Amino acid sequence: MPTLDDSTTTLAPVEEVWKLLYDPSRMSEWWAGIRSVERGGRGGTGDITLFADHDPEFPMPQALHADGDGRRLTISCLANHLVFEWHLEVLDPGTRIAVHVEIPEREAHRLDDQRASVSASLRALATLAAEAAATDGPRERG
């Protein structure tokens, strides 16, 4: 099964990244190619449903769960069976955001597309978190 790993860093504190990562309503702000998010799965399965830019009518239910020690957020797409495992690490200062993606064989031909999409999403998430932190930063120590 093809996999890919990517990571980035941001000056934003970990709680800012955490709030974005665990808030499905904001996923469309950083997840590349995602237009909107609905709470709850479609057809009785999944925890949220994503709708992509390229096919905004097609629901993609996702299951969210914690893996291993519970410190990794796993988002499994119940439509195409891609699995995204997100992990946060505290830096001084800032946060490292890492993602591990498992791609089923039948989606292997989209590996390069996925790599680009994941990279864009990571960086968007980092930027968004940094913006939230920067908005607060100057006043925090004031």
Partner 1 sequence: MLRVQLLGELEVHVDGAVVAPPSSRRAWSLLAWLALHPGEHGRGGVAARFWPDVLDSSARASLRSALWELRRAVGADGGLHGGRERIALACTTDLEAFEAHVAAGRLEAAVALQRGPLLADLDDDWVLEARDEQAERLGSVYARLAAAAATPAEAAAWARRRLTLDPLDEEAARELMRRLAADGDRVGAVAAYDRLSDRLREGLGLAPSAQTRTLAATLREAEAPGGPRADEPPLIGRDADLAALAGVWEWVRAGHGAVAVLGGEGGIGKTRLAAELIARAHAGNATVARCSAVDLGGAPPFAPWIELLAALARGLDAPPADSWWPEELGRLSPSLPRRLGRPRAAPVDVPAELARARLFEATVELTEHASATRPLVLVFDDAHLADAPTLELAAYVARRIAELPVLMVLTRRMTPRRDEVDALTNTARTRGVQVCELELQPLTRTELEALIGSVRMLDTATRERVIAAADGNPLLALESARATANGDSGPPASLRSATRAAIAGLGGPARRAAELAAVAGRPLDRLELSALTSPDAVLEAMDCGLLSSTDGRFGFRHDLLREAVVADLEDTRRATHHEALGRALRASPAEAARHLRRAGRDDLAVECLLEAAAAAVRTTALVEATAYLSEAVELRPEDAASQLELADVWAQLGRRDPATAARERALARLDPLDAPGRAAVHLRAALWFRGRLCDPGGARHAAQRGIDALDTGSLTDPETRADLLLIRAWSEVTIEGSGAAERTLAELATLDVDLEHPPLRRHHLRSVEGFTLLLGGRTGAAEAALVASGEAGEAAGRADLAYGGWANAACLAIAAGELHRAMEHTARGEAITAPFPAIAFQMAGLRASVLALLGRHDDARACSDRQAELAGRLGSPRILALADHDAGLLAALAGDHERAQACLGRALAGEPQILRADARLRRAEALARTGRAEAAEAELRAAALEPIHAGHRPALLLGRMAFVQALVARARGDHELAQARLLESARHWRRLAGDDPVASEHLASLVDLGRPPIAGIVDASGELDRVAEELRGLEALADAR
What letters, b where the CB count within 10 A reaches 16 and e where it falls short, cover 77-87?
bbeeebbbbbb
β-partners of residue 100 are 5, 85
User: Exactly one of 69, 92, 105, 112 binds partner 1 (CB under 8 A); which one?
Assistant: 69
CB of 69 to partner 1, least distance (A): 6
Q: What residues from 28 to 67 belong to the interface with partner 1 (CB under 8 A)?
A: 65-66
* Long-range pairs, 43-49, Cβ under 8 A, ≥24: 45/78, 46/78, 48/24
Number of shown-chain residues binding partner 1 (CB under 8 A): 22
Residue 73 within binding range of partner 1, rule CB under 8 A:
yes
User: Exactly one of 3, 5, 19, 58 binds partner 1 (CB under 8 A); which one?
Assistant: 19
Which of the stretches 21-29, 30-38, 49-57, 106-114 binds partner 1 when contact is defined by CB under 8 A? Answer: 21-29
CB of 77 to partner 1, least distance (A): 17
Residues near partner 1 (CB under 8 A): 13-15, 17-19, 22-23, 25, 65-66, 69-71, 73, 88, 90, 136, 139-142
